[in-house]
């Protein structure tokens, strides 16, 4: 990607889960590091999230979920991204995702999953590194 262009990221809360402390602090840390961040707010459907990714022309999509509904919502979002031709954006997961479920999430095309206690700098570095590769 063009080095001068600012990275744009969508932080999204799919499903009915209202726990967005993590999503909000990460959004703010990303913003403080110079990344452009759009936050969807809570209770977003997969369709709304994919539409926002398209409209906002983002480089990365960060999905946060703590309710245990990732098993349904993540595959649906990945499927819709592909349908809309957004299969190449960087997708990361976060929240409460049991270790046992992570291989399945990665097989869907989610690059990585970051659990509680992850340093925000780890996430920022990961995004910058992975996007500069493309």
Partner 1 sequence: MGQDNKKILEEERRWEKDCLERHTSGNAEMDWGMKVKTLYTPNDIEDIDYLEDIGFPGEYPYTRGPHPSMYLGRLWTMRQYSGYGTAEETNKRYKYLLEQGQTGLSVAFDLPTQIGYDSDHPLSQGEVGKVGVAVDSLADLERIFDGLPLDKLSTSMTINAPAAILLAMYLALAEKQGISFERLNGTIQNDILKEYTVRGTYIFPVKQSIRLITDIFEYCSRYVPRWNTINIAGYHMREAGATAVQEIAFTFADAIEYVNAGIKAGLNVDDFAPRISWIFNTHNNFFEEIAKYRAARKLWAKIMKDRFGAKDPKSLMFRFHTQTAGSALTAQQPVNNVVRVAFQTLAAVLGGAQSLASCSYDEALALPKEDSVRLSLRTQQIVAHEIGVTETVDPMGGSFYIECLTKKMEEEIEGYISKIDELGGAAVAIEKGYIQQEIQESAYRHLKEVESGKKVVVGVNRYQLEEPPSKGLLKVDPKVGEIQIKRLKELKTTRDNKKVESALSELKKAAVSKVNLMSSILDAVKTYATLGEICDVLRDVFGEYEGTLTI
Contacting residues toward partner 1, per CB under 8 A: 15-21, 24-25, 27-29, 31, 37, 39, 41-43, 45, 67-73, 96, 98-100, 115-117, 119-121
Would you say 1 or 69 has its CB closer to partner 1? 69
Smallest gap, in angstroms, from Cβ of residue 65 to partner 1? 9
Structure tokens at 78: 């990945």
Would you say 17 or 59 has its CB closer to partner 1? 17
8 — alpha (psi -120 to 50), left (phi > 0) or beta? beta
> How would you class 107 by CB atoms within 10 Å of its CB: exposed for 0-12, middle for 13-18, buried for 19 or more?
exposed
Smallest gap, in angstroms, from Cβ of residue 17 to partner 1? 7
Residues 6+ away with beta carbon under 8 Å from 133: none
Would you say 85 or 116 has its CB closer to partner 1? 116
Smallest gap, in angstroms, from Cβ of residue 106 to partner 1? 15
Smallest gap, in angstroms, from Cβ of residue 134 to partner 1? 27
Q: What angle do CA 26, 36, 30 make, to 5 degrees?
A: 25
Between CA 118 and CA 123 the distance in angstroms is 8
Structure tokens at 63: 């999905």
Would you say 55 or 132 has its CB closer to partner 1? 55
């Amino acid at each position: 990607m063009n080095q001068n262009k600012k990275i744009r990221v969508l932080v999204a809360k799919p499903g009915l889960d209202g726990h967005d402390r993590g999503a909000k602090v990460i959004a703010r840390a990303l913003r403080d590091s110079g990344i452009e961040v759009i936050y969807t707010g809570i209770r977003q459907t997969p369709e709304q999230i994919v539409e926002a990714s398209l409209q906002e022309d983002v480089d990365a999509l960060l999905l946060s979920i703590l309710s245990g509904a990732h098993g349904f919502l993540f595959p649906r979002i990945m499927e819709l991204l592909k349908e809309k031709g957004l299969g190449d954006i960087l997708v990361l997961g976060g929240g409460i995702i049991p270790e046992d479920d992570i291989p399945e999430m990665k097989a869907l095309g989610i690059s990585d999953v970051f659990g509680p206690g992850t340093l925000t700098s780890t996430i920022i570095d990961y995004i910058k590194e992975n996007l500069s590769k493309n």
